[in-house]
Amino acid sequence: MDYRKFNEKYYIRLDKDDEIIASLTEVCARENITAAQINGIGGCEKAVVGVFDLDKKEYNREEVAAMLELISLDGNVTVYEDKPYIHAHATFAYRGADGRPAILSGHLLEAVIGLTGEIILTPADGVITRKYIKELGIRIWDFA
């Protein structure tokens, strides 16, 4: 991973075997980023996404290990328990087992870069924290 700051944005290059969430968390901790927007594209070799099940209060996970084109990464950075918290959704295109085009999309739980990742992090002034809502099983923005 390598990154540079131009104007107020961070341009982050992820390399083979870098994990997206861990890498973004590292940059945010290093640069003391407490609120930001995330956008990115790239090529991955593994991705795990989820769709939240409100009754179970957990993610239904789906994992694909193949050459995946990260065609959209969108999310934000906040703070939870005094650490950077990455909340991101992603869409991946790949070839399914039958050789036909397929899509994997949802809440990004994990993704490992297989080629490169190009991510833009746009910080905002201030701090956005999260609080846990037990009834929903999720962490929401807290402007208190």
pLDDT digits (tens, 9 = 90+) for 1-39: 999 999 999 999 999 999 999 999 999 999 999 999 999
Query: Average pLDDT over the chain, rounded to whole?
Result: 97
Q: How far apart are alpha carbons 73 and 75 in whole angstroms?
A: 7
DSSP string, 33-99: --SEEEEEEEEEEEEEEEEEETTTTEEEEEEEEEEEEEEEEEEEEEEETTEEEEEEEEEEEEE-TTS
Q: What was the pLDDT predicted at 55? A: 94
7 phi/psi in degrees, rounded to 5: 55, -120
What percent of the chain clears pLDDT 90, i.e. is strictly above it? Answer: 99
| CATH number where 48 lies | 3.30.1330.80
Greatest pairwise CA separation for the chain in angstroms: 51
Would the pTM count as exceeding 0.75?
Answer: yes
Determine the pLDDT at residue 98: 94
Domain of residue 132, residue span: 2-142
Domain count, the chain: 1
Task: Tell me how far the alpha carbon of residue 80 is from its chain's centroid.
Answer: 15
What is the average pLDDT across 62-83?
A: 98
Question: Looking at the predicted structure, is the pLDDT value of residue 61 above 90?
Answer: yes
Point out which residues pair with 60 in neighbouring strands: 51
pLDDT at residue 144 is higher than 90: no
